[in-house]
Every structure is written in structure tokens, then in C-alpha cells.
């Protein structure tokens, strides 16, 4: 992969050098432990998703890796450079887009980009040219000369992302890039991230609260809770473990509920939850939906309502930890990291992991 070669060159190592390696990162704020020993390896040219609720430690991890704060313990190499001892070099490799768009609202979009270009050592004309390119790429040309405080939320995020790309970083940190965006802007953001990685070989570490976002973008996901990584694996493995989707059916006639429940049980392999006439079950294979429709149709059952929706982060959390994804609460018991790819035997028995309390 060309991206690997590029990054390998910059760190004077061979192609397989990971873009990020972190070992035992610890960060405390007074009595609060934001990071309680985080290990990460992000291969060059991939997207790594840190998934977790508010306050799980995702942002702290990004701030440590982007050299904004120093870890209290542990070690991290970004592009082969130690974040603690070679922070200036790390900063030359990375771009950061924060959770709250950190553009200067008093400047225009163009001036924001110009400022960063000049700070990165571009000549006046080179900085202008670069700003023009980025403004065009992010559809901001028309509003380029308006103060950024007049921008919409989506425009601000685009400007923020553009700002972190001025220096053509090899590694990009995206801290909750789509939180608070409408679906259209969110999809745009996803396309940009895909293009950055696929077309340009950039390595991306993103944090998110949305399972769907991690699923859409990441090659690897680490689920973070209370400053620890509690599960790690590919989106597929993670979904297999936790049940990616929830199927809910309500028969047109409530009298058919037992029949529907039995059919779902047969297809999914576990007994579904029944609440009134609503039958729901966690599924890993979306093909269950058409199969169920066919079976019910054959049986002459009219369906009043049928949905297949993505499991929420909350549901994944319950499945993984047994406690809901609420910020700041203490885990009832110490959770040890589960390597999803390691083939835990429990994966075969999803029912054991589906907490009934998640049903709506």
C-alpha cells in the first residue's frame, strides 16, 4: 500500500510500522481517572474507531495522542515518534478536528485557513493557494469571505476539517466529527473520511458515540468504558458478539402474537421478547427480515408493523458490560478486555448477552 510506504518512510521504518501504538496510557484528573491503562495499535492507512459514551475517556485519549496533554503513565508513539519526548515532530504529522469546531469565529473561513497555512510555514501565496483549494473541496468558496460565526453547524465542521488538512497530515484525529450534525451533513462527513483514507492513504482515529458511525467507517473498533478498552475487534466481530440489529414485529391482529413469537424464535434461534403484541429480538443477520415476512405471509398473518433497526450504543454496552452506557457511573465489577476476534465461546450464545432491559 502506497500509504504504508509513505508513512514507513517518514518514520524510517519498514512498511508494517503502525501509525499509532499506545501502551498502558493513564491520565488522571484529581480523583477522576480518565484513562485507566489504554493499549492501542492503529495500522497505517486504516480507520480506527474509539466507541463509547460521554465521559468514557475517548477525548482524553485523542488529546494525549495529539500531544495536547501528557499522560501520567504509559507510552505512545505516533508515526514512530514519542508523544512525550518528540511532540513537535508528532505535531508535524497529525491533524486534529475537535469535538467542538475550533475555528476562529471572528475570522472568515479563508482567513482561518490562511492563518494555519502561514503558521505551518507556507509562503503567503502558497497559503492562499492552499486555502483556495480547501475551500473549493469543502464547498465553502461562496462563504469564504464571511466571518465563521455566521456559518451553519455543518459548514463549521467542514471548515474545521479543512483547517486540519492544511498541512496535509498523514494522520488525522477526528473527535466526534458528526455529533450534532443533521443526517445529510453527517453523510457528507463520512464520504470525506472515506475519501481521505481510500484515496489518500491517511490514517484516521475517530471517536464516536454512534455504533453506526463506527460500523460505517472503521476497520477496527475499540469500545471504551471508564477509561478502559472493554472490547476490540472488527465491526463484524463486534456486531456478531453483541447483535447488530434489533428486529421488532407487531401483528395486525394481537391474537397472532404467539404465532409471530414462535416464528421469530425459529428464525433467530432464541426466544424473543414479547411486550403486549410487540415481538422483538436481537439479530445478527439482516436476511431474517425478508425470511420472516415470507413466513408470516405464508401463514396468512397480517403484519401491523415491522422494523429492523441498528442496535444503539446503549444496547451494545449492556451486551458487553452488563451496565448501561451512562457517563460517570461506576462499573459494578472490573471488566477485562475481551478480544472479539479471539473467538470467545460465549459468542455462540447471543441470548446470554442480550439483556432484556434494553427492549423498548
Partner 1 sequence: MTALTTTLPSQTPGTTGGAEPVGSARVTPLDALRHTATLAWRTLVQVRHNPMELLDFSVQPLMFLLLFTYVFGGAISGSTGDYLTFALPGIIVQNTLFTTLNTGTGLNTDLTKGVFDRLRSLPIARCAPLAGRILADMTKQLWAIAMLLGLGYILGFRVQTGPLQALAACGLVVLFALAASWISVLVGMLVSEPEKVMIFGFTLIFPLTFVSNAFVQTSTMPGWLQAFVKVNPVTALADATRGLLVSGPVWTPTWHALLWAAGLAAVFAPLAVVAFKRRV
Residues contributing to the site for partner 1 (CB under 8 A): 2-3, 5-6, 9-12, 63, 66-68, 79, 81, 86, 88-89, 91-96, 98, 100-108, 111, 115-116, 118-121, 133-134, 136-139, 147, 158, 163-165, 167-170, 188, 191-192, 195-196, 199-202
Question: What does DSSP assign to residue 299?
Answer: T
* Sign of the torsion angle spanned by Cα atoms 311, 316, 318, 323: negative
CB of 76 to partner 1, least distance (A): 15
Q: CA-to-CA distance for 213 and 186, rounded, in angstroms?
A: 9
Burial group, residue 256, by CB count within 10 angstroms (0-12, 13-18, 19+): buried
Whether 49 and 221 have beta carbons less than 8 Å apart is answered as yes
Nearer to partner 1, 96 or 231 (CB): 96
Nearer to partner 1, 94 or 211 (CB): 94
CB of 95 to partner 1, least distance (A): 7
Q: Copy the grid coordinates of residue 81.
A: 515518534
CB of 144 to partner 1, least distance (A): 13
Q: CA-to-CA distance for 41 and 245, rounded, in angstroms?
A: 28
Whether 175 and 98 have beta carbons less than 8 Å apart is answered as yes
Nearer to partner 1, 190 or 308 (CB): 190
Nearer to partner 1, 94 or 222 (CB): 94
Nearer to partner 1, 108 or 338 (CB): 108
CB of 38 to partner 1, least distance (A): 19
Nearer to partner 1, 191 or 266 (CB): 191
Give the strand pairing for 278-283 and 273-275. Answer: antiparallel
User: Which residues contact residue 18 at a Cβ distance below 8 angstroms, ignoring those fewer than 6 apart?
Assistant: 41, 42, 43, 44
Whether 295 and 263 have beta carbons less than 8 Å apart is answered as yes
CB of 299 to partner 1, least distance (A): 47
Phi-psi region of 353 (alpha: psi -120 to 50; beta: other; left: phi over 0): alpha
CB of 202 to partner 1, least distance (A): 6
Amino acid at each position: 500500500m502506497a500509504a504504508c510506504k509513505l508513512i514507513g518512510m517518514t518514520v524510517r521504518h519498514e512498511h508494517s510500522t503502525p501509525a499509532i501504538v499506545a501502551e498502558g496510557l493513564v491520565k488522571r484528573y484529581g480523583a477522576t481517572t480518565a484513562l485507566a491503562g489504554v493499549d492501542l495499535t492503529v495500522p497505517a492507512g486504516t480507520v480506527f474507531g474509539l466507541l463509547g459514551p460521554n465521559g468514557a475517556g475517548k477525548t482524553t485519549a485523542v488529546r494525549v495522542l495529539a500531544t495536547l496533554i501528557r499522560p501520567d503513565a504509559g507510552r505512545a508513539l505516533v508515526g514512530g515518534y514519542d508523544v512525550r519526548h518528540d511532540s513537535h515532530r508528532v505535531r508535524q504529522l497529525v491533524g486534529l478536528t475537535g469535538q467542538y469546531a475550533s475555528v476562529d469565529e471572528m475570522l472568515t473561513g479563508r482567513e482561518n485557513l490562511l492563518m494555519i497555512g502561514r503558521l505551518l510555514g507556507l509562503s503567503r501565496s502558497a497559503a492562499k493557494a492552499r486555502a483556495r483549494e480547501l475551500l473549493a473541496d469543502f464547498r465553502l468558496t461562496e462563504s469564504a469571505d464571511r466571518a465563521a460565526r455566521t456559518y451553519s453547524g455543518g459548514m463549521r465542521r467542514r471548515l474545521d476539517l479543512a483547517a486540519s488538512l492544511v498541512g496535509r497530515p498523514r494522520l488525522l484525529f477526528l473527535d466526534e466529527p458528526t455529533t450534532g450534525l443533521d443526517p445529510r451533513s453527517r453523510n457528507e462527513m463520512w464520504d470525506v473520511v472515506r475519501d481521505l483514507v481510500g484515496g489518500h492513504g491517511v490514517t484516521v482515529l475517530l471517536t464516536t458515540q454512534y455504533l453506526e458511525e463506527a460500523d460505517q467507517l472503521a476497520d477496527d473498533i475499540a469500545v471504551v468504558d471508564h477509561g478502559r478498552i472493554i472490547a476490540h475487534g472488527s465491526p463484524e466481530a463486534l456486531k456478531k458478539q453483541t447483535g447488530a440489529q434489533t428486529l421488532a414485529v407487531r401483528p395486525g391482529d394481537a391474537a397472532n402474537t404467539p404465532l409471530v413469537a414462535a416464528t421469530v424464535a425459529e428464525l433467530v434461534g432464541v426466544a424473543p421478547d414479547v411486550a403486549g403484541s410487540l415481538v422483538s429480538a436481537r439479530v445478527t443477520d439482516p436476511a431474517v427480515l425478508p425470511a420472516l415476512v415470507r413466513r408470516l405471509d405464508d401463514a396468512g398473518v397480517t403484519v401491523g408493523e415491522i422494523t429492523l433497526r441498528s442496535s444503539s450504543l446503549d444496547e451494545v454496552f449492556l451486551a458487553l458490560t452488563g451496565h448501561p452506557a451512562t457517563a460517570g457511573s461506576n462499573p459494578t465489577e472490573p471488566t477485562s478486555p475481551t478480544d472479539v476476534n479471539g473467538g470467545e465461546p460465549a459468542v455462540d450464545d447471543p441470548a446470554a448477552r442480550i439483556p432484556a432491559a434494553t427492549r423498548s
